[in-house]
Chains A and B, each alone.
Chain A
Amino acid sequence: MRENTFVRRYGLIILAGVVVGAAALILTAAGNPKNMGFCIACFERDIAGALGLHGAGKVQYLRPEIPGIVLGAMLSAFVFREFKARAGSCPASRFVVGLFVMIGALVFLGCPLRMVIRLGGGDLTAVAGLLGFLAGILAGIVFLKKGFSLGRAYPVKMGEGFALPAVMLGLLALLLLAPGLLKFSEEGPGSMRAFWLISLAAGLAVGFIAQRSRLCMAGGLRDAFLIQDFTLLAGFLAIWATVTVGNLIMGNYSLSMTSQPIAHSQHLWSFLGMALAGWGSILLGGCPLRQLILAGEGNGDAAVTVLGMVTGAAIAHNFGLAGNADSAVDGVYKVGGVGSAGMIAVVIGFAVLLAVSLLHLPGKEEA
């Protein structure tokens, strides 16, 4: 009986974690950058680059994983009758918060999902990111407990629910039918890519199961601390475990602070970048992956958040805010990290999140 309860409660979410972890391993083996089989922030940044929204030549590619996730989630939502067009919960605030979540993630060099994948590759520089993510979530929880809410969303016409899925179909059409319009990196992470069909299939699978299981990187830690519910955290841990085991089997596990793929060792800024991403994710009701899933379920507010994140990626690279990876040049190890513009952007981000948090607390009559 107890076993049945465990399976019923944790079976699907652990399966989702295993699928996401396996998809990340497969994509890396098929050509995606190391420890970046999946990364929502990085891939949205690459898409921004492919569309010419920023000019960072090393991170431009229309990653089919992102359209795959949104469309996979939409498919699942339709199959299980959960597709509902909803919108109207402070979309402008969500756009801005999404923008700063992206900047925080790019300062760290990865979204919360890639943070887990980096940990699963033995990348100890991601530990500072994990601690920062946790700190950001705890900050968000303080405001949730005080009654923070961006307000309710309302039912809207179906067309609004199809907005982001339609954009994603359009992006896929550009990639397959008019690639000449897009920019493609010839070196750097953007040039490392799995065959598009593998990427799309992995995205669809992840989108489908993440919709079913409600997988959310921020939700796992949030629920554990806020309501002592460990369901979503099990998915977080299952990704970590799957990627760790897979990397160990394939000989790609490297437990170290140095020479990690697309990572830097400025721990303070890894911490602060992910703290920004964590706090923002709590205000938004979910991590960057979850925003894609919600947009696939017809949530127009999540769609606006995703557009805010893409804009944040463009800003991050146009103004040199993103972190630079450590690198070895001519045998000399060069520590990367964050420039002063990135540091200032993170500080501004904290001020913006604090303002959004305070401005959306209940008034005296509502408390």
Chain B
Amino acid sequence: MVDARGQSCPIPVVMTRRVLEKETPARLEVLVDAQVAVENVTRCARSLGYQVTAEPQGADFKLTLTK
């Protein structure tokens, strides 16, 4: 689980990418709190071959990345 809520651009992407590249997990959950972070993390994960689903969770968003 990556908790990137409240982080400035592009830190949610940097945090997610670091985990994806280091550990290459089959599944990773990422929490963000801004639509722009949803878009950026989604683009980054897709470019690394992951499928992404996003769902609202209160005022935040939970992204589920699967390979």
| Residues in chain A within 8 A of chain B (CB atoms) | 80, 82, 84, 86, 88-89, 144-145, 147, 149-155, 214, 216, 219, 222-223, 226-229, 231, 284-286, 301
Which residues from A are CB-within-8-Å of B9? 216, 219, 285-286
**Contact in complex: A84, B33 (CB < 8 Å):** yes
Once the chains are docked, how many angstroms separate the CA of A184 from the CA of B39?
43
Beyond the given pairs A89-B7, A155-B33, 9 more chain A to chain B contacts, judged by CB atoms under 8 angstroms and listed by A's residue number, are A86-B33, A89-B6, A144-B10, A153-B8, A214-B36, A223-B10, A227-B44, A285-B8, A285-B9
Specify which of B14, B35, B36 is in contact with A145 (CB 8 Å cutoff). B14
**Contact in complex: A285, B43 (CB < 8 Å):** no
* Minimum Cβ distance to chain B for residue A52 (Å): 32
* Minimum Cβ distance to chain A for residue B42 (Å): 11
Once the chains are docked, how many angstroms separate the CA of A84 from the CA of B13?
20
**Contact in complex: A152, B6 (CB < 8 Å):** yes
Please, could you name 13 A-B residue pairs with CB atoms under 8 Å apart, sorted by A?
A82-B35, A89-B8, A152-B5, A153-B8, A216-B9, A223-B10, A226-B14, A229-B47, A285-B8, A285-B10, A285-B11, A286-B8, A286-B9
Which residues from A are CB-within-8-Å of B39? 214
* Minimum Cβ distance to chain A for residue B3 (Å): 8
Once the chains are docked, how many angstroms separate the CA of A145 from the CA of B15?
9
**Contact in complex: A227, B13 (CB < 8 Å):** yes
Main secondary structure of the interface of A (DSSP, over half): loop
**Contact in complex: A149, B59 (CB < 8 Å):** no
**Contact in complex: B7, A144 (CB < 8 Å):** no
Q: Is B28 an interface residue (CB 8 A)?
A: no
Closest to A301 in B: B8
Once the chains are docked, how many angstroms separate the CA of A145 from the CA of B11?
9
Closest to B8 in A: A285
**Contact in complex: B10, A219 (CB < 8 Å):** yes
Q: Which 3 A-B pairs have the closest CB atoms?
A: A285-B8, A152-B6, A153-B6
Which residues from B are CB-within-8-Å of A151? 6
Once the chains are docked, how many angstroms separate the CA of A147 from the CA of B9?
13
Once the chains are docked, how many angstroms separate the CA of A231 from the CA of B36?
13
Closest to A285 in B: B8
Which residues from B are CB-within-8-Å of A84? 33-34, 59
Which residues from A are CB-within-8-Å of B44? 227, 229
**Quick one: which of B5, B10, B17, B39 has the most chain A CB within 10 A?**
B10
* Minimum Cβ distance to chain B for residue A15 (Å): 16
Which residues from B are CB-within-8-Å of A86? 6, 33
Specify which of A150, A216, A227 is in contact with B17 (CB 8 Å cutoff). A227
